[in-house]
Amino acid sequence: MQPFLTVCCFVLVVQAGVADQRNANVALERATNAFKQGRFEEAGKQLDAAARADSKKPEIPNLRGAIFTRQKRYEEAAQQFSEALALDPKFYPAKLNLAEVKLLQGQYGEAAEQYQALKQADPDSETLDFKLVLCALLEGNQAKASGIVDLMKFPGTTPAYYYARAAIALRRGDNELAQKYLENVKKYYAEVQCRYFAQSLEEVNLTSATPSRPQETPDPRSGKVGNSGSASQ
């Protein structure tokens, strides 16, 4: 009888663990949807629920860090991304997001180093190339930025090339040329693919008098944007 009771208890524990994981996944999905809609308070509540169910998921602090990033609470965001990496040192989205925080804080050299390190794991990432272009431009090295774009795949699977070219033109003050790139990109890529790159330009004040677009971020769990082979978030 005792062995049977032991087995029964074990089954109950396993079932409880599965239920917790399921609850955590549901709450995390709700948090992700709320985040994409800009409902950060609701996203935070759902993340709290996910953490109560399973505190070991790196996606939870990663998404919380993404919320803080959007709120310009960069130090808190970096802390959350570091927590995600403490749970899973190979968690790519958190590494990408840490680099993004450096970029938004104006630490362009450090951001570039982190993006370049990520290229080792994701060498074909057009998003990383685009970010490296931004870092070079914001550091004042237009020649380096142009060199990176010259090596980018064209046509690519994402609009990264067009937005990188537009960024260089905007940095030079050539709004007319930038506008041509921003108009041409719409001929080949869906709006949903363009939003992340347009937002990235806005976040670093590389904009022209173009109509504002809805904002989108890389998926905070996968780090992917549209059809990109990389990340976000």
pLDDT digits (tens, 9 = 90+) for 16-26: 466 778 889 99
Query: Which of 129, 126, 122, 159 lies closest to 146, judged by CA?
Result: 129
Q: Does the residue 141 lie in any domain?
A: yes
Whether 2 shows a pLDDT value over 80: the answer reads no
| CA 178 distance to own-chain centroid | 24
Q: Would you give the DSSP letter of residue 105? A: T
d(CA 130, CA 194): 13
Locate tokens 């965001």: which residue? Answer: 77
- Quick check: is 25 in a domain? no
Pick from 202, 199, 231, 227: nearest CA to 214: 199
pLDDT recorded at residue 3: 55
Q: Is residue 104 part of a domain?
A: yes
| Torsion angle (degrees, nearest 10) of CA 124, 130, 134, 136 | 40
Range of the domain at 214: 93-233
* 47 found inside a domain: no
- Whether residue 19 lies inside any domain: the answer is no
CATH of the domain at 145: 1.25.40
For the record, the structure tokens of 75 come out as 């130090």
* 86 falls within a domain: no
Q: Express each pLDDT in 114-148 by its tens digit.
A: 999 999 989 999 999 999 999 999 999 999 999 99
pTM across the whole model? 0.78
More confident: 15 or 222: 15
Whether residue 157 lies inside any domain: the answer is: yes
State the average pLDDT over residues 80-98. Answer: 97
Task: Judge whether 134 lies within some domain.
Answer: yes
Query: Residue 143 corresponds to which tokens in the numbers above?
Result: 């020649």
Query: What is the tally of structural domains in the chain?
Result: 1
| Mean pLDDT for all residues in the chain | 86
